[in-house]
Amino acid sequence: DGGITQSPKYLFRKEGQNVTLSCEQNLNHDAMYWYRQDPGQGLRLIYYSQIVNDFQKGDIAEGYSVSREKKESFPLTVTSAQKNPTAFYLCASRQGRAGEKLFFGSGTQLSVL
């Protein structure tokens, strides 16, 4: 089955620790996105990648980093500089030439110990 796989489903971060969230897609989509969702809030864009080896900061990129070395993979690192990382993180990819449809993964819930 084609789709987007996010792992792990739940992740706990200790003070001062960097953690990496995995996002893999087998849809052959060029564009991939990372969003953060807080309770009662909409989706806020962290990073966006249109093609391999290229990515742009979104509205809330501070404290996060990404890489896009392969078309299928777009991992997100939450660094120790992100002081309030507790949130639900969603990865998505885009079908078509424009953003008319995003396919989302099932999300990763990150919590601070």
Q: Please report, as ranges, the residues that interact with other proteins according to CB under 8 A.
A: 4, 31, 33, 35, 40-45, 48, 50, 58, 88, 90, 92, 94, 98-102, 104-107, 109
Q: Specify whether the CB–CB gap between 36 and 42 falls below 8 A.
A: no
Amino acid at 58: G
CB-hemisphere CA count at 13 Å for 9? Answer: 1
Residue 71 CA to residue 111 CA, distance in Å, equals 28
Q: Given 3-state DSSP classes, what are the helix, strand and coil percentages for the chain, each rounded to the nearest 5?
A: 0, 50, 50
Q: Among residues 30 and 80, whose Cβ is nearest to other proteins?
A: 30
Q: Among residues 4 and 78, whose Cβ is nearest to other proteins?
A: 4
CB of 112 to other proteins, least distance (A): 18
Q: Among residues 6 and 82, whose Cβ is nearest to other proteins?
A: 6
CB of 76 to other proteins, least distance (A): 15
End-to-end CA distance of the chain: 35
CB of 67 to other proteins, least distance (A): 19
CB of 82 to other proteins, least distance (A): 21
